[in-house]
Amino acid sequence: MQPELTVRQVMAGTVNPAANVLWNAITTVETPDGGYADKGPETDEEWATLRTNAENMAHWARMLMLAGRGIAPEGAASTAPGFNLEPDSIAVLVAAHRDEWDAFASELEASAGGFLGIVEARNGDPQAFLDVGDGLTTACDGCHQEFWYPQG
């Protein structure tokens, strides 16, 4: 099976938007008395939105582990030259460190599973979201440090 979507397309089209929904599931709002409170999902629709995004993230995390997936469309350049490596350089790093690539994708999948656990329990505790969100941040930042940013 040859993957059709590139890593860039998967990240931009599914993983990043899902991560943003999950990271932003808890917000801080001003209360009528001038204080602040955390607000999380309450309605069936809000919980369903979180579930869909966590499921999508888990699915695409597994799909990132399929061999043969390109980094970016053929001929595409870095989206941030001088800050991010060029796609061909990233592909070389991924090929040379495939175990680390798959480990980061597994961490991404595990974070999605953590969010699914929160959704299934309807656990609106802000700390639960923060804890799982920290794991997601660690997975994302680790992968970017290892594969996207210029080495050295």
Q: Does residue 2 lie within any of the structural domains?
A: no
pLDDT at 152 over 60: no
Q: To which H or E segment does residue 109 belong?
A: helix 98-121
Range of 35's domain? 7-71+83-148
- Residues 149 and 89 sit within 8 Å (Cβ to Cβ): no
pTM over 0.85? The answer is yes
> What is the tens place of the pLDDT at every residue in 113-141?
999 999 999 998 999 999 999 999 999 99
**pLDDT reported for residue 114:** 97
pLDDT at 85 over 90: yes
pLDDT at 2 over 80: no
Total domains in the fold of the chain: 1
Across the range 6-35, mean pLDDT stands at 95
Q: Does residue 26 lie within any of the structural domains?
A: yes
> Alpha helix locations (H) across 1-151?
7-10, 16-23, 44-63, 87-96, 98-121, 126-143
Q: Does residue 78 lie within any of the structural domains?
A: no
Q: What tokens does 94 get?
A: 């991924």
> What is the tens place of the pLDDT at every residue in 34-55?
999 999 999 999 999 999 999 9
Across the range 47-74, mean pLDDT stands at 96
How many C-beta neighbours within 10 Å does residue 105 have?
20
Q: Does residue 103 lie within any of the structural domains?
A: yes
Q: Does residue 53 lie within any of the structural domains?
A: yes
- Residues 139 and 60 sit within 8 Å (Cβ to Cβ): no
Q: Does residue 34 lie within any of the structural domains?
A: yes
> What CATH number is associated with residue 94?
1.20.120
Residue 107: closest CA among 152, 80, 141: 141
Which sign, positive or negative, has the C-alpha torsion 72, 8, 142, 57?
negative
Q: Does residue 35 lie within any of the structural domains?
A: yes
Q: Does residue 50 lie within any of the structural domains?
A: yes
**pLDDT reported for residue 151:** 73
